[in-house]
Every structure is written in structure tokens, then in C-alpha cells.
Amino acid sequence: MKSPVVLIANPVAKQASEKMILRAAALLRSASYELTVYRTRKKGDAEVFARQASQNGVALIIAAGGDGTFNEVINGIAHTDTVMAILPMGTTNVLAKEVGIPEDVESAVDVALKGEAHTVSLGRITVEDPLSPVTRYFCLMTGIGFDGDAVYGFSKSAKRYSGKAAYILSGLQTLLKYSPEPLIFSVDGETHTGYSAIIGKASKYGGNFKITPDASLLTPELYVYIMGGRRRSNMLRYVAAVLMKRHLGFNDVLYRRAISVKVGGHARIQIDGDYLGKTPATVTVAPHALRLIF
């Protein structure tokens, strides 16, 4: 019998089903691994299961679900020796696309068992609420302003039953009432003003789109995309330009590499596709914080 493996599965991820989870478990057991399977029931379960498994000396955790599930597991094992692999079963599977993990169970399990463990750097964000400050890691991006509003207004039931269409609907609803306040960004000590931002730790966003195309999990740095227009027409222009891969050339956009970003003002925040809280916040790099198989 090989070393113990923990499979943490989110059975309500869009493409996930009990049949798929059982198939993954059967493949792992057929490879002679001592397997324990945990199924999440509510937000936060995956992080708790991952932290407990890591503290118990489990060397490999395989997370089955979407980017939210992966984010929870990452927050449970960051800066430990536990290795993480992923089985993409979510709506957009951005992390899987970023690192090239196939979306069928058999191929993803094969990568989990035979792939290389890479040391990756994460983003780290602290929401500076004086009553309940929160610090979280992220591997893909944090969105501040429009992006945070869209995720905040997003219905989880719509996500489950309507898939990507629910994201589009939430974005349209956010656009119709979009009236942002100015935000102050201190990017490695330089002050800039804007109304929304994407701070990327990975290159991909929302699937195969690339808002921060130079960002990489393998390097200890962030890439910041700050939008300086406050009108709805500006946001439509940014979105259209992302679709055409022309969004980096605008005069009212700041795009640059960074190690630390402080954000002042009042705006909502999302990380890796889940709502986090409100600014003010500080975003930094957590170098070499995770071992990820791909």
C-alpha cells in the first residue's frame, strides 16, 4: 500500500457528481493508494479538511471541485510540505486552464499521480476591517471594484443551475447600476487613482481570457491592472478590449508588475471568484508558498 492520499470533493460543483467522485476514488485505490475521501457540505469545509490532513502528515491532497474549492484547500495548506493536486469539476476551471490540467477525471487523476510538483507563489490579501480583519491567500487574482460588485451580486443557485450565463447576468446587472467611488492605489509606494482593478497572480481570468497576461504562478510577483474610467461606457470599453486582447494600451489604464499594493477607499473585493469583503486592503506576494502538481 502506498502513502496516504486525501481527496477533498465538492459535490455541488457544476460538473461534479457522485459518480465522478466515486470514479476518481476508484482510480486512486486501484493505484494502491490508501485513500480518505471528504465531501464538503458548506463554505469553509475544504479548508478545514485540508488543514487537518496536513497537520496529520498527509503528503498529497487532491482537491476536486471548482476554483473556490481549490482556494479553500490552498488556504488550508499554504507554507506546509503538503502537495496539492486538482481535479477540475467547476464552472470555469480557471486554475486548471492556467496549469494545463485536463477536465476529464481519468486524465486529471493521471496528472495528480504522475505530474511534477512545482513550487508556486501565491497572492495574499488582508482586508483591513478594524472589527474583523481577514487575511487570505489567492492563486488566480483579486478583483476590486466592478469585479467585486459582480461577484457580490452573483447568486450561487444561479451558478449551480445556469453556469457561465449566471456570471454574465450578474455582470450586466452590476453594469446597469455601476457608480464607483475613486480608489487610491499605492503600488510599490507609487500612488495612483482608479475605480476598479484586477491584481493577477496568474495570467488567465474567467476561463481563457488574459487580463494580466504576464502574471505567473511560478514567479514571486503580481501584475496590476487599474482602470481609471468611472463611467459605464468605460467599463464596456475595457471588457471589449479584453475580448480583443487590446486592453493594455489605453491611456486611462495602469498595467505594471508589483510586489505590494495598498488600496484605499470603499469597494468590494473578490478573490479567485468568491466574495471576500471591502477595502481598504493590502495585497502582497507570498513567495514559494505552495507545492502544486501539474
The length of the chain, given as a count of residues: 294
Q: What CATH class has 122-287?
A: mainly beta
Q: For 22-74, how does the pLDDT look when each residue is reduced to its tens digit (9 = 90+)?
A: 999 999 999 999 999 999 999 999 999 999 999 999 999 999 999 999 999 99
Tell me the per-residue pLDDT of 83-100, one tens digit each, with 9 for 90 and over: 999 999 988 999 999 999
Pick from 197, 144, 182, 152: nearest CA to 170: 152
H or E stretch covering 157: helix 156-162
Cell numbers at residue 21, please? 467522485
For 267-276, write each residue's pLDDT tens digit: 999 999 999 9
**pLDDT value of position 287:** 98
Whether residue 250 has pLDDT greater than 90: yes
pLDDT category, 154, cuts 50, 70, 90? confident
What is the separation, in whole angstroms, between the first and last Cα of the chain?
A: 24
Q: Which residue has the cell 472589527?
A: 131
In this structure, what DSSP letter does residue 181 have? P
Looking at residue 12, its pLDDT comes to 79
pLDDT score at 256: 98
Q: Domain segments of the chain: what residues?
A: 2-115, 122-287
Dig out the grid coordinates for 188 from the structure.
510599490
pLDDT in tens, 219-237: 999 999 999 999 999 999 9
Closest listed residue to residue 123, CA positions, set 53, 202, 211? 202
Q: 101, 76, 92: which is closest to 24 by C-alpha?
A: 101
Does the reported pTM lie above 0.75? yes
Question: 2-115 sits in which CATH class?
Answer: alpha beta
The pLDDT of residue 163 is 65
Q: Indicate whether 11 pLDDT > 70.
A: yes
SS3 state of residue 182: coil
171-230: pLDDT as tens digits: 888 999 999 999 999 999 999 999 999 999 999 999 999 999 999 999 999 999 999 999
Question: What's the CA angle centered on 51, arms 75 and 279, to 5 degrees?
Answer: 25
Pairing mode, if any, of strands 274-278 and 268-271? Answer: antiparallel
Distance (Å) of CA 202 to CA 43, 151, 286: 24, 19, 13
